[in-house]
């Protein structure tokens, strides 16, 4: 069974640009969560999607958005990039999306904003 796949693995953008990151969950998993990881702030929850609906949202500005497709694949978008958005963006999937489900993480998309 393939794991969680994130693309692209690395990307460089400049301030003011926007970026879209993609995540393919493990087959059969319907919940997809996104996390931002930085050395200063650690792992922080962005949002969770289940059956194409955003079910939970962390404390990030509206520049951060996401969506989920009918095949459970998910994308997240960051608009008007800032230097502080440089981070590793991790996607995680779980089987049923209930509050006690194990998260399976991808390897992440490392975004550098210049």
Residues forming the site for another protein (CB under 8 A): 4, 31, 33, 35-36, 39-45, 48, 50, 55-56, 58-60, 90, 92, 94, 97-108
Cα separation, 18 vs 13, in Å, equals 8
CB 3 to another protein: min, Å: 9
**Of 30 and 73, CB closest to another protein:** 30
CB 10 to another protein: min, Å: 11
**Of 15 and 55, CB closest to another protein:** 55
φ, ψ for residue 57, nearest 5 deg: -140, 140
**Of 79 and 105, CB closest to another protein:** 105
Those residues whose C-beta lies under 8 Å from the C-beta of residue 12, and which sit 6 or more positions away, are 111, 112, 113, 114
- Cα–Cα distances (Å) from 37 to 53, 77, 95, 98, in that order, read 23, 16, 23, 23
């Amino acid at each position: 069974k393939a794991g969680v796949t994130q693309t692209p693995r690395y990307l460089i953008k400049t301030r003011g640009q926007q970026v879209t990151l993609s995540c393919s969950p493990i087959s059969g998993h319907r919940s997809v969560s996104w996390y931002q990881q930085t050395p200063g702030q650690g792992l922080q929850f962005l949002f969770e999607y289940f059956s194409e609906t955003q079910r939970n949202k962390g404390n990030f500005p509206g520049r951060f958005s996401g969506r989920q497709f009918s095949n459970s694949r998910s994308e997240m978008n960051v608009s008007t990039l800032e230097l502080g958005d440089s981070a590793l963006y991790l996607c995680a999937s779980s089987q049923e999306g209930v509050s006690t489900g194990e998260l399976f993480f991808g390897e992440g998309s490392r975004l550098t904003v210049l």
